[in-house]
């Protein structure tokens, strides 16, 4: 068995058209490969992908940068993991109130739950931002040089994936994670085998450069994931 826990934008949704089709075919035709989406998107902006006949349907979806975890078929929260996350979130209204006073932040107009996401510019007061987040017991994740996610304390993509894998008793050796930006770093820090796909953010490449469990692919997106499958011994794909 193999379980692919993959970021979406720039990773499962990235790469050359022919390599995308090739990977989607592999995932759709091999029921022995389980798929978990692990994305910064909110659930509402993952849903349209589930109706796409070509993109493989996930067994589970981790979204909101790790703050939401649902069953891929029923879209029901995975308990008790979801409740544990909810307990660490003070509510968006309170977070917005604290962040409103930080210069250089602009709220993202995307669907989100149990996290607040912003754009930032050079005017941002990162120290004030971090202090305000700390006061609420929250974590700050910076990504792609322009996005900031405020998350429940200790929650990130890697935390929630690890909880899910432990709950499902998936052997570590059967898991491959994949991603392309800094908000994927926590996936690689789980210690599971991982693929940093081609075209990834430099800061992610640097942060994972010395990690033995991480393979740095040449091809972008899906092509990189296929390279990773082979690198980790799944030569049949």
Which chain residues interact with Mg ion by CB under 5 A?
Answer: 7, 9-10, 180-181
Looking at beta carbons only, is 88 or 205 nearer to Mg ion? 205
The rounded distance, in Å, linking the Cα atoms of 203 and 173 is 26
Q: How far is the CB of 201 from Mg ion (least distance, A)?
A: 9
* Residue whose beta carbon is closest to Mg ion: 10
Looking at beta carbons only, is 147 or 229 nearer to Mg ion? 147
Looking at beta carbons only, is 82 or 220 nearer to Mg ion? 220
Looking at beta carbons only, is 10 or 56 nearer to Mg ion? 10
Q: How far is the CB of 10 from Mg ion (least distance, A)?
A: 4
The rounded distance, in Å, linking the Cα atoms of 160 and 69 is 7
The rounded distance, in Å, linking the Cα atoms of 13 and 3 is 17
Count CA within 13 A, CB hemisphere, residue 109: 0
Looking at beta carbons only, is 7 or 139 nearer to Mg ion? 7
Q: How far is the CB of 1 from Mg ion (least distance, A)?
A: 25
Q: How far is the CB of 134 from Mg ion (least distance, A)?
A: 26
Which residues make Cβ contacts (< 8 Å) with residue 229, sequence separation at least 6? 2, 26, 176, 237
Q: How far is the CB of 232 from Mg ion (least distance, A)?
A: 20
Q: How far is the CB of 106 from Mg ion (least distance, A)?
A: 20
What does the longest C-alpha to C-alpha distance in the chain come to?
A: 54
Chain centre distance of CA 71:
16
Characterise 91 by phi-psi region: left (phi > 0), alpha (psi -120 to 50), beta (else).
left
Nearest to 133 by CA among 87, 90, 104, 81: 90
Looking at beta carbons only, is 98 or 147 nearer to Mg ion? 147
Looking at beta carbons only, is 132 or 190 nearer to Mg ion? 190
The rounded distance, in Å, linking the Cα atoms of 94 and 115 is 11
Q: At what angle do helices 221-231 and 17-29 cross, to 10 degrees?
A: 50
Q: How far is the CB of 39 from Mg ion (least distance, A)?
A: 8
Q: At what angle do helices 92-99 and 126-135 cross, to 10 degrees?
A: 150
């Amino acid at each position: 068995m193999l379980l692919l826990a993959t970021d979406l934008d720039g990773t499962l949704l990235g790469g050359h058209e022919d390599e995308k089709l090739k990977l989607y075919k592999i995932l759709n035709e091999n029921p022995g490969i389980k798929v978990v989406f692990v994305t910064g998107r909110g659930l509402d902006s993952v849903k349209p992908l589930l109706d796409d006949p070509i993109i493989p349907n996930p067994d589970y979806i981790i979204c909101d940068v790790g703050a939401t975890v649902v069953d891929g078929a029923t879209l029901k929260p995975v308990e008790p993991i979801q409740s544990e996350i909810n307990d660490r979130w003070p509510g968006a209204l309170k977070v917005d109130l604290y962040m409103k006073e930080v210069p250089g932040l602009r709220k993202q107009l995307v669907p989100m739950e149990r996290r607040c996401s912003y754009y930032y510019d050079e005017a941002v007061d990162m120290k004030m931002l971090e202090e305000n987040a700390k006061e609420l017991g929250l974590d700050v994740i910076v990504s792609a040089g322009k996005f900031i996610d405020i998350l429940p304390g200790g929650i990130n993509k890697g935390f929630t994936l690890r909880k899910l894998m432990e709950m499902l008793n998936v052997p570590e050796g059967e898991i491959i994670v994949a991603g392309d930006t800094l908000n994927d770093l926590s996936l690689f820090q789980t210690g599971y085998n991982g693929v940093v796909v081609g075209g990834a953010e430099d800061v992610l490449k640097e942060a994972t450069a010395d990690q033995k469990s991480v393979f740095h692919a040449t091809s972008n997106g899906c092509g990189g994931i296929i390279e990773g499958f082979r690198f980790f011994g799944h030569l049949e794909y």
